[in-house]
Amino acid sequence: MNYETILYDIKRDGIARITFNQPEMRNPLSKQVTEELIHAIKKADNDIQVKVIVLTGAGKAFSAGGNLNEFKENFTKSVPELHMEGKESTELFKLGATVKTPIIASVNGPALGGGCGIVAMSHIAIASEEAQLGLTELRLGIVPYVILPWVRRAVGNRKVMELMLTAEIFSARQAKEYGLVHRVVPHNELEEETHKVAQNIASYSPLAVSLALESFYSTEQMDLMKSFDYLSTLRIISFQSEDLKEGAQAFLEKRSPVWLGK
């Protein structure tokens, strides 16, 4: 796929950077952007050289959410057309729970509507102190349908109800208080802080990192006692892995491990 609305770049240290690249439009989450983003995230996730995926925006915005012109076009579309397009959007937001590669949101500016959902979907979110976030859909007469599950998991039932019904825009500091982002840094330090966190994760066993994600999402809705049994079985993979042997040996020899991802 030739990307027209995003940039895709892989750093030498195993960090894939995907950038929303329509700054003049405040990086809307349009149908085309959604398609390209799905492709890019899957591409990075299937690349054995990629250890971490970073999502960010070009210009002053992270992503200002849905494209208003596309909303207008929906009035002339059939129900089946709308259903299929909705499935594409749903596929994007399912990726947060299915990829084996950690996703970091580097929130450089406003993240509204679907953009806020991308932040909530990411495994780690680091925001510039100049960033603003919000579930602004009700201002347009629509509901934050697809992103609601992720924001709910991030901030809890009572808070997501307030954010959804008030449709207020709030600061990065407030987002941290709510649990929507993990860290807030000065704007000129955002890229450095994001890269530092990404490098740290990339330094670990890729097998262990992928198993960590699988352990989290596989047991999230599982019965407590069953989750213990499942995780006890899953850890056998770690105990028999080449990476655990290498990690233990490297620790004893006081050197950096050379991970094989096996």
E strands along the chain, which residues? 6-10, 15-20, 52-57, 103-107, 111-112, 124-128, 132-134, 169-171, 183-185
Q: What are the tens digits of pLDDT across the range 180-208?
A: 999 999 999 999 999 999 999 999 999 99
User: What is the Cα–Cα distance from 117 to 200, expressed in whole angstroms?
Assistant: 25
- Determine contact, residues 41/99, Cβ cutoff 8 Å: yes
Higher pLDDT residue, 75 or 142? 142
Burial of 80 (0-12, 13-18, 19+ CB in 10 A): exposed
Alpha-carbon distance of 115 to 29, in angstroms, equals: 7
- Dump pLDDT digits (tens) for 118-160: 999 999 999 999 999 999 999 989 999 999 999 999 999 999 9
Q: Alpha-carbon distance 189 to 226, whole Å? A: 43
1: confidence class by pLDDT, cuts 50, 70, 90 = confident
Q: Please answer whether residues 20 and 58 qualify as being in contact, where contact means their C-beta atoms are separated by less than 8 angstroms.
A: yes
CA 220 to chain centre: 17
**Rounded mean pLDDT of 54-73?**
83
Residues 6+ apart with CB under 8 A from 86: 146
Contact 219, 240 (CB under 8 A): no
Q: Residue type for 40, please?
A: A
Judged against a pLDDT cut of 70, whether residue 83 lies above it is answered with no
End-to-end CA gap in the chain: 30
DSSP H helices in 46-184 = 68-73, 79-98, 114-121, 148-155, 157-166, 172-178
Is-contact 202 52, C-beta < 8 A? yes
* Measured distance CA(172)–CA(114) in Å, rounded: 16
Structural tokens at position 39: 């492709």
Closest CA to 119 of 165, 178, 193, 78: 178
Q: Quick check: 52 and 198 in contact, CB under 8 A?
A: yes
Confidence of residue 65 (pLDDT cuts 50, 70, 90): confident
